[in-house]
């Protein structure tokens, strides 16, 4: 008998009801009608049903029409992880590694997602500095173009799971020769795993190359010292650096480390400049390091070998036959030789030459000067470049001959793009029976590989780094892998038949190989814990190897005597091309040319001594397109007219013109890798002597340069006035139509001097500032005194002598403050949004000018002209001296931006950040289905502490007010007074040279107060009485009177 019943039929177990009850949706008449129409005809829906349907449809239609809100799913934690406190950032010590680039960092995570990297102040290599590339690496993590799933085909079998792929690969590996191609790999664990793989199979070879290589240096060191490694450098110990073209402050070897060392000898305390080092750059193009040099001596790329040989002859002895086309360079080399000889053991001679004989001469010069183990170390060599160029050629020959059975491409290795033989590689890959790409990003080479095994981003995985002998660093995961990826290390271990997790393998490697080298910690656990905390471990170094060879100058490059030579350089942002899909780096202006999103051809200009500049090929507008022909290869490039570019030479960057990466990086600029050629040793030559440039063939309408005017007080000789030195800024273009550009020299924006005139310059500055202050005291409101004398008053100091213009601060600011990128076309329209920019000006002699980089951000004026003009008080002053923006209040009249003397205010012309509801305003720079910032993956990089600004509001530097607030709260929670250095802005922590100091100017003991009271300190445009809070320290150079640097 039924216990519960709802009707007599139920009670009686009516068969029809039982039957219906088994059908789940019996209650829904329509469904039942449809389902059982033929079996069980029923009456049409009745009045009540009609009303029900009517009600439902009406309700549904109303809901659907009125509340079309996107559904956002959020899952709360069931058990909250201990390390995640909402709203509180967690930091992990880690490293950013890409090929030979290495930067020790602290990763900031919020709610389990990494959003920012900071320099690791404990690291002896960087001492807290970072590079723009390291700062931009968090954006790579959230790159929509990343490879998400493993995939591959073998024969006619298509696979998409790790198990299938692993099984197929295992079968394949046993079949014959295995070749592994990689850029410089600094992970000791990966090296160990590769050794295990080599041990397992009979014919395994690991080929290491660098797209922009130091192969010849490795070879020369191998010959000279028996160690195929790059030397370690100590720029902080060098009084004189003679540099043949190496971009050691920007891209060469270990720029963050070197910039940090170099800047220590460039900052001057007070009026004493005795300890200042001198950097002399010998090169043809205005390289980034050259722009920071005290003097540049112009030599053609093909004459570099002879110039080195001449320096060798002058320092070591012997003779070097031949003459340089620039007679002043000959003289300069003799002067430099004498200077070097008087700085024995306190100098560095270096070159980025990829010629073995030239590097041997450099070694000989340094050895003769006693620089080894004083300023240069082979006892603690750098391992950041390991590639031998010729190995790639033999691999290619093996592939073409069908001698390679399995080719494994690791990481960013991309021979189809980044070697001179790219096209041949693309064809030869077809000859390999199985090609495997282990990489995180699509590339020209990965496209052609049969199997793709996606690897995680460095912020998602365990890894280790050995950038320098005795220095081991750790890479820690800071987020669960976003995609179905597997670290390279695990893949290789799997291939070697010993599958193990990266973490376990790294720990056992360290226990076996690294731990025994040190004696600080007795137990491995303690050692490991301290490594994870610090991010690195230092262990004993190596002994200095014995010298084994005597170099000769045979084999150095000989002057070509051709009409036009071209030098190639590594771009600051995109590097060798592996950073190309990072919009933050693409939109970071090249420090020297100030061009974004493009590769440009630098062409020389000359002051004709009368009234005009003369430009190469008559190209008188930046962005004009020309055809560049080098040997067989032809490229179309926009030009920039470049101060300091030697006559008869041009220059362009490598690393642009990707075609196989994501949408942001594809087809940006043109690639010049195919134009490269190799010397007899197989080493790639980063110059060519057979270049030719056409006349103007068009104009790039989207050519985007953030700075139109480049000089500030450039002088030249006026032959019409009997050789009198005049201001070229004024004279050159003071004609109707071109636009008057003069009146610059006396602007109170830059202060610079040479070290021997430092005292005079300080006196002059003092008098000028006294005059300005006197004017500023003439006020209508004498009783209105100091509003900001109590409590904190935030301010900053920027040392122009230490700032090298690298752009790390700019990218850090974008990452910290959710500053959007806008794309090439919008930058062309001068709509860039950067809160912080680095102004670059040329000054001094027109043929060989010096360069000053001036970081420019909101000056937080205490008498701010932007504040009083805002009709709605959206921008106003805080009690702590901050000029603040209330975005919600901003109507967008742009009056404040017009009235800002520093032009640091940025207006949201479009909805760059996709913060609004109306998609019509969104900016879609890469022509994607979802505009750049609208993608949820990309948005993960946003800092939750900083408002995402909508269309139509003004924004600008806030001096990282969120950090100020956090610092104050932390001090309050710890019940103590805020100490100097508790709060650091994003630009400050990013700076590799410590040029930016932030602090409380009301605290007389704070560093910023001391710096702003320095004799060399000044405020930009002080006489406008805006009362800026950002002090600048005068730029001081250390030029030598004896070296004449102008061209012959």
Partner 1 sequence: MSAVVSPIRDPLITGHKDYHQITEDICAPSERTPSVAWVVSFLIAVSVLAVGVFCILWTIWFGIGTWNLNRTIGWGWDITNFVWWIGIGHAGTLISAILLLFRQKWRTGVNRAAEAMTIFAVLCAALFPGIHVGRMWVVFFFFPYPNTRGPLWVNFNSPLLWDLFAISTYFTVSLLFWYTGLVPDFATLRDRATGLRKRFYNFLSFGWTGAAKHWQRFESLSLVLAGIATPLVLSVHTIVSFDFATSVIPGWHTTIFPPYFVAGAIFSGFAMVLTLMIITRKVLKLEDYITVEHIDSMNKVILLTGTIVGVAYLTELFIAWYSGYIYEQYAFLNRVKGVYWWAYVGMMSCNVLSPQIFWFRKFRRNIALTFFMSIFVNIGMWFERFVIIPTTLARDYLPSSWSYYVPTWVEIGIFIGTLGIFFTLYLIFTRVAPVVAIAEVKSILKTSGDQYAGEHAKHAHKPHSHEEESVAH
Query: Which residues in this chain contact partner 1 in the complex, by CB under 8 A?
Result: 707-709, 711-712, 734-737, 739-744, 746-747, 749, 826, 829-832, 837, 839-841, 854, 856, 865, 868-873, 889-895, 897-899, 901-903, 905-911, 918, 920-921, 923, 950-954, 1021, 1024, 1026
Minimum CB separation from partner 1 for residue 102, in Å?
A: 32
Indicate the residue among 109 and 875 with the shorter CB distance to partner 1. Answer: 875
Minimum CB separation from partner 1 for residue 860, in Å?
A: 16
- Phi and psi for 820 in degrees, rounded to 5? -80, 155
C-alpha distances in angstroms, 914 versus 581, 777, 889, 920?
20, 46, 19, 10
> 3-class DSSP state for residue 265?
coil
Minimum CB separation from partner 1 for residue 944, in Å?
A: 23
Classify residue 24 by its DSSP letter: T
Indicate the residue among 421 and 826 with the shorter CB distance to partner 1. Answer: 826
Classify residue 516 by its DSSP letter: G
Minimum CB separation from partner 1 for residue 898, in Å?
A: 4
Q: Do residues 420 and 213 touch, judged by C-beta distance below 8 A?
A: no
Indicate the residue among 774 and 830 with the shorter CB distance to partner 1. Answer: 830
Q: Do residues 208 and 387 touch, judged by C-beta distance below 8 A?
A: yes
Rounded to whole angstroms, the Cα distance separating 14 from 16 reads 6
Minimum CB separation from partner 1 for residue 1032, in Å?
A: 13
Indicate the residue among 816 and 826 with the shorter CB distance to partner 1. Answer: 826
Rounded to whole angstroms, the Cα distance separating 369 from 338 reads 11
Indicate the residue among 968 and 1027 with the shorter CB distance to partner 1. Answer: 1027
Would you tell me how many other CB atoms lie within 10 Å of the CB of residue 68?
Answer: 7
- Per-residue tokens: 499: 């599958």
Indicate the residue among 121 and 773 with the shorter CB distance to partner 1. Answer: 773
Cα dihedral sign, 634-635-638-639: negative
Nearest to 131 by CA among 163, 96, 159: 96
Indicate the residue among 413 and 910 with the shorter CB distance to partner 1. Answer: 910
Minimum CB separation from partner 1 for residue 804, in Å?
A: 17
Rounded to whole angstroms, the Cα distance separating 254 from 101 reads 7
Indicate the residue among 690 and 928 with the shorter CB distance to partner 1. Answer: 928
Minimum CB separation from partner 1 for residue 1023, in Å?
A: 8
Q: Do residues 578 and 661 touch, judged by C-beta distance below 8 A?
A: no
Where are any strands of DSSP class E within 368-487?
376-382, 406-410, 434-438, 451-452, 463-468, 471-475
Rounded to whole angstroms, the Cα distance separating 77 from 763 reads 64
Tracing tokens 């690969």 back to the chain, one arrives at 169
Minimum CB separation from partner 1 for residue 728, in Å?
A: 14
Minimum CB separation from partner 1 for residue 987, in Å?
A: 17
Cα 144 off chain centre by: 19
Minimum CB separation from partner 1 for residue 834, in Å?
A: 9
Q: Do residues 115 and 200 touch, judged by C-beta distance below 8 A?
A: no
- Per-residue tokens: 293: 């040099």
HSE of 187 in the Cβ direction (CA atoms, 13 Å)? 33
Rounded to whole angstroms, the Cα distance separating 853 from 839 reads 6
Indicate the residue among 431 and 707 with the shorter CB distance to partner 1. Answer: 707
Minimum CB separation from partner 1 for residue 899, in Å?
A: 5
Indicate the residue among 372 and 902 with the shorter CB distance to partner 1. Answer: 902
Indicate the residue among 191 and 894 with the shorter CB distance to partner 1. Answer: 894
Where are any strands of DSSP class E within 133-229?
151-154, 157-159, 178-182, 204-208
Indicate the residue among 499 and 743 with the shorter CB distance to partner 1. Answer: 743
- Per-residue tokens: 642: 């470049």
The distance between the two most distant Cα atoms of the chain, rounded to a whole number of Å, is 125
Indicate the residue among 264 and 894 with the shorter CB distance to partner 1. Answer: 894
Phi-psi region of 13 (alpha: psi -120 to 50; beta: other; left: phi over 0): left
Indicate the residue among 734 and 979 with the shorter CB distance to partner 1. Answer: 734
Minimum CB separation from partner 1 for residue 912, in Å?
A: 9
Rounded to whole angstroms, the Cα distance separating 952 from 492 reads 52
Minimum CB separation from partner 1 for residue 954, in Å?
A: 8
Strand order in the sheet with 1030-1033: 996-1000, 794-799, 1030-1033, 1017-1019
Minimum CB separation from partner 1 for residue 396, in Å?
A: 46
C-alpha distances in angstroms, 439 versus 396, 455, 491?
20, 5, 11
- Per-residue tokens: 394: 């033999």
Indicate the residue among 356 and 837 with the shorter CB distance to partner 1. Answer: 837
Rounded to whole angstroms, the Cα distance separating 802 from 805 reads 9
C-alpha distances in angstroms, 881 versus 779, 964, 1013?
20, 12, 18
Minimum CB separation from partner 1 for residue 586, in Å?
A: 19
């Amino acid at each position: 008998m039924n216990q519960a019943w709802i009707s007599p039929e139920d009670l009686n177990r009516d068969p029809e009801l039982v039957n219906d009850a088994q059908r789940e949706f019996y209650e829904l008449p329509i469904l039942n009608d449809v389902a059982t129409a033929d079996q069980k005809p029923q009456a049409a829906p009745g009045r009540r049903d009609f009303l029900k349907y009517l009600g439902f449809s009406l309700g549904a239609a109303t809901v659907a029409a009125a509340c079309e809100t996107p559904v956002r799913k959020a899952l709360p934690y069931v058990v909250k992880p201990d390390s995640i406190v909402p709203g509180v950032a967690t930091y992990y010590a880690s490293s950013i590694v890409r090929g030979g680039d290495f930067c020790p960092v602290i990763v900031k995570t919020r709610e389990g997602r990494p959003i920012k990297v900071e320099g690791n102040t404990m690291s002896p290599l960087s001492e807290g500095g970072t590079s723009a590339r390291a700062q931009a690496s968090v954006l790579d993590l959230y790159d929509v173009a990343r490879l998400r799933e493993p995939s591959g085909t073998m024969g006619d079998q298509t696979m998409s799971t790790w198990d299938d792929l692993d099984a197929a690969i295992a079968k394949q590996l046993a079949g014959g020769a295995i070749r592994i191609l990689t850029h410089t790999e600094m992970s000791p664990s990966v090296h160990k795993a590769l050794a295990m793989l080599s041990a397992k199979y009979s014919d395994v070879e690991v080929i290491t190359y660098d797209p922009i290589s130091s192969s010849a240096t490795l070879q020369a060191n191998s010959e000279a010292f028996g160690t195929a490694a790059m030397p370690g450098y100590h720029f902080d110990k060098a009084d004189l650096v003679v540099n043949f073209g190496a971009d050691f402050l920007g891209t060469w070897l270990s720029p963050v480390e070197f910039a940090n060392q170099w800047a220590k000898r460039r900052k001057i305390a007070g009026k004493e400049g005795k300890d200042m080092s001198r950097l002399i750059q010998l090169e043809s193009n205005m390289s980034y390091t050259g722009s920071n040099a005290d003097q540049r001596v112009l030599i053609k790329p093909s004459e570099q070998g002879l110039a080195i040989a001449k320096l060798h002859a002058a320092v070591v002895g012997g003779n070097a036959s031949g003459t340089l086309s620039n007679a002043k360079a000959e003289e300069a080399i003799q002067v430099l030789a004498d200077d070097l000889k008087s700085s024995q053991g306190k100098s560095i001679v270096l070159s980025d030459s990829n010629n073995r004989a030239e590097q041997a001469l450099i070694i000989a010069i340094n050895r003769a000067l006693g620089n080894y183990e004083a300023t240069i170390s082979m006892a603690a060599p750098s391992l950041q470049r390991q590639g031998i160029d010729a190995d790639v050629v033999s691999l290619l020959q093996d592939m073409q001959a069908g001698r390679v059975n399995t080719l494994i491409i690791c990481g960013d290795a991309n021979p189809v793009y980044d070697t001179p033989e790219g096209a041949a590689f693309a064809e030869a890959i077809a000859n390999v029976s199985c090609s495997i790409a282990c990489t995180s990003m699509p590339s020209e080479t990965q496209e052609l590989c049969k199997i793709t095994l996606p690897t995680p981003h460095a912020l998602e995985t365990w890894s280790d780094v050995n950038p320098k002998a005795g220095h081991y660093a750790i890479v820690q995961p800071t987020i669960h892998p976003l995609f179905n990826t597997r670290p390279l290390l695990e893949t290789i271990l799997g291939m070697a038949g010993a599958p193990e997790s990266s973490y376990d393998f790294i720990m056992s490697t360290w226990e076996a190989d690294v731990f025994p080298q040190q004696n600080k910690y007795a137990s491995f656990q303690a050692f490991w814990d301290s490594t994870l905390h610090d991010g690195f471990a230092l262990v004993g170094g190596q002994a200095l190897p014995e010298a084994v060879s005597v170099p000769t100058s045979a084999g150095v490059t000989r002057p070509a005597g051709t009409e036009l030579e071209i030098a190639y350089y590594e771009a600051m942002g995109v590097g060798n091309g592996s950073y190309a899909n990072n919009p933050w780096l693409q939109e970071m202006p090249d420090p020297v040319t100030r061009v974004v999103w493009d590769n440009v051809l630098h062409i020389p200009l000359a002051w004709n001594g009368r009234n005009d500049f003369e430009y190469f090929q008559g190209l008188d507008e930046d962005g004009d397109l020309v055809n560049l022909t080098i040997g067989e290869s032809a490229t179309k490039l926009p030009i920039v007219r470049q101060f300091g570019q030697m006559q008869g030479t041009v220059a362009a960057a490598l690393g642009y013109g990707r075609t196989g990466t994501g949408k942001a990086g594809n087809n940006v600029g043109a690639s010049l890798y195919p134009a490269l050629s190799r010397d007899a040793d197989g080493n790639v030559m980063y110059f060519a002597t057979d270049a030719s440039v056409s006349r103007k063939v068009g104009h790039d309408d989207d050519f985007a340069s953030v700075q139109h005017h480049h000089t500030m007080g450039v002088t030249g000789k006026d032959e019409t006035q009997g050789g009198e030195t005049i201001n070229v800024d004024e004279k050159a273009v003071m004609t109707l139509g071109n636009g008057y550009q003069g009146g610059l020299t006396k602007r109170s924006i830059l202060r610079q001097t040479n070290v021997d005139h430092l005292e005079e310059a300080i006196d002059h500055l003092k008098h000028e500032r006294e005059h300005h202050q006197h004017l500023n005291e003439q006020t209508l409101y004498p009783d209105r005194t100091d509003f900001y004398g109590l409590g904190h008053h935030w301010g900053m100091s920027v040392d122009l002598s230490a700032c090298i213009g690298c752009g790390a601060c700019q990218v850090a600011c974008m990452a910290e403050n959710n500053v959007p990128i806008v794309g090439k076309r919008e930058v062309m329209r001068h709509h860039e949004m950067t809160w912080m920019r680095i102004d670059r000006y040329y000054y001094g002699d027109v043929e060989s000018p010096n360069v000053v980089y001036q970081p420019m951000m909101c000056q937080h004026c205490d008498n701010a002209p932007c504040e009083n003009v805002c009709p709605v008080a959206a921008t106003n002053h805080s009690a702590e001296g901050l000029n603040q923006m209330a975005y919600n209040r901003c109507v967008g009249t742009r009056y404040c931006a017009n009235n800002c003397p520093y032009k640091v205010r940025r207006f949201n012309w479009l909805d760059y950040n996709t913060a609004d509801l109306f998609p019509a305003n969104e900016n879609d720079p890469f022509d994607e289905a979802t505009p750049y910032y609208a993608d949820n993956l990309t948005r993960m990089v946003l800092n939750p502490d900083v408002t995402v600004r909508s269309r139509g509001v003004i924004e600008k530097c806030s001096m990282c007010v969120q950090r100020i607030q956090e610092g104050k709260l932390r001090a309050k929670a710890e019940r103590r007074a805020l100490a100097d250095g508790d709060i650091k802005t994003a630009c400050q922590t990013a700076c590799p040279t410590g040029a930016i100091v932030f602090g409380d100017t009301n605290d007389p003991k704070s560093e910023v107060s001391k710096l702003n009271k320095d004799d060399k300190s000044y405020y930009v445009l002080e006489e406008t009485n805006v009362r800026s809070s950002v002090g600048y320290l005068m730029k001081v150079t250390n030029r030598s009177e004896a070296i004449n640097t102008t061209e012959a």
